Amino acid sequence: MHPNSRKQYSIRMSKFKFTNEFEFQASPKILFEFISTPVGLSQWFCDKASNTFQNVWHLFWDDTDHTATQTHNKPNKLVRFQFQTTELDDTTDPAYLQFEIEKSELTRVAFLKITDYSGMSNKQELEELWENLIHNLKTVIREK
């Protein structure tokens, strides 16, 4: 477990909400490039990413396309992807992934808050997944 992280869990219907914050020395502007652009996301988060002018994103893992709509984009602050599905349960309570950047003005440290709302409910697997992904991100932006 990362010493500077805060976790929160909640279960709602068939979805599980995982939230965690990770500390970064990078500026919000640099972090935002890695969470809001196809090139940035494909460097640490997924195998490949692309988007259209209509905010439809294609995020690929193991040659499988996970289509999402970018529902929020506040520059240098927040990005949210709502995953598209044809299953009835998911259309009324869709899975989403949110990246939010918060900066401490006192310490000048940035925090990346991850909210992963999905059908994946194993807390340990989610913690390990996000620890590995954040390690990848820190490696790409050259943080230790």
Domains of the chain with bracketed CATH: 7-140 (3.30.530.20)
Identify the sign of the CA torsion 127, 132, 133, 137: positive
| Cβ atoms 99, 114 nearer than 8 A | yes
| pLDDT of res. 53 | 80
pLDDT digits (tens, 9 = 90+) for 85-134: 766 555 678 999 999 999 988 888 999 999 999 988 888 999 999 999 99
pLDDT digits (tens, 9 = 90+) for 63-85: 999 999 999 999 999 999 999 97
Could you tell me the pTM of the whole model?
0.85
- Going by C-alpha positions, the residue among 133, 41, 32, 116 that lies closest to residue 73 is 32
| Cβ atoms 58, 67 nearer than 8 A | yes
Q: Report whether pLDDT(5) > 70.
A: no
| CB-based burial label for 59 (10 Å; 0-12, 13-18, 19+) | buried
CA distance 144 to 141: 9
* String of DSSP letters for 9-74: EEEETTEEEEEEEEEESS-HHHHHHHHHSHHHHHHHT-SEEEE-TTSEEEEEETTEEEEEEEEEEE
